[in-house]
Amino acid sequence: MQLFGFSIILFAGALLTHIIAWRFLRPRRHIRGLLLHFASVWSLAVMLDILAVLPGAPGSLLSWLHASLFYWPAALAYVSLFSLIEQDSPSLLMVDLASGTGRDGVSRQDLLSALHVEGGVVLQRLRAACDNGLVAGNEALGWSLTPRGLWVARVSALAARLYRLDRAG
């Protein structure tokens, strides 16, 4: 139980330092920045444990492995959900629009205008993908996947097929 507590404290510390640090300095590539941040916090904790100056640290390689079984999945889950937390979600926007209309629903025009207005959620997502190196282009010229974005798209499509997400119902 002590290892689990240590893992929670380590993750909470990484999360807190991330929130504080990003108030002052936000990296251009958010995903890479978050991954480096969580890896840096974990590496620092390991080094402090080796120097025996980190109270409650695991102490052995096997204990660090056990502590990492919480820390890394939690960190990776946070990184994958960060864009939903950071910006508006197109899916949540559609649900929110539909929930306020009752039985009549949302007209196609209202939905499209909510998604495509200047500064709308789709444009926010495209700009974030551009910042992360997944997409290239702009509103005037159009958008295209970069080689890295194409790789991510192929991996996502493969995962969708493996999990049978391509079949409705």
Grade residue 162 by pLDDT with cuts at 50, 70 and 90.
confident
Is 35 or 91 the better-scoring residue by pLDDT? Answer: 35
Lowest mean pLDDT among 9-13, 38-42, 61-65, 84-88: 84-88
82 and 95 within one domain: no
Mean pLDDT of all residues belonging to the chain: 79
Residue 32 lies in a domain: yes
Residue 117 has pLDDT above 60, yes or no: no
Total of domains in the chain: 2
Residue 84 has pLDDT above 70, yes or no: no
Residue 33 has pLDDT above 90, yes or no: no
Alpha helices, H only, the chain = 2-24, 30-50, 61-86, 90-99, 108-116, 121-131, 147-162
Residues 125, 87: contact at Cβ < 8 Å?
A: yes
17 and 70 within one domain: yes
Alpha-carbon distances of 58 from 47, 82, 116, rounded to whole Å: 12, 28, 50
Give residue 59's domain range.
2-86
Cβ neighbours of 121 (radius 10 Å): 19
Residues 148, 134: contact at Cβ < 8 Å?
A: yes
111 and 46 within one domain: no
60 and 30 within one domain: yes
46 and 17 within one domain: yes
Domain finish residue from 33, 66, 86: 86
64 and 126 within one domain: no
59 and 12 within one domain: yes
Residue 154 lies in a domain: no
Residue 150 lies in a domain: no
95 and 51 within one domain: no
Grade residue 40 by pLDDT with cuts at 50, 70 and 90.
very high
Residue 34 lies in a domain: yes
110 and 77 within one domain: no
Q: Among residues of the chain, what percentage have pLDDT more than 70?
A: 84
Residue 164 lies in a domain: no
The Cα–Cα gap between 136 and 140 comes to 12
DSSP state of 104: G
Which two tokens mark 148?
Answer: 């890295």
Residues 136, 143: contact at Cβ < 8 Å?
A: yes
Long-range contacts at 38-41 (CB < 8 A, ≥ 24 apart): 38/14, 38/72, 38/75, 38/78, 38/79, 41/10, 41/13, 41/14, 41/17
> Tokens 């500064």 correspond to what residue?
119
Grade residue 11 by pLDDT with cuts at 50, 70 and 90.
very high
Residue 169 has pLDDT above 50, yes or no: no
Residue 75 lies in a domain: yes
Residue 143 lies in a domain: no
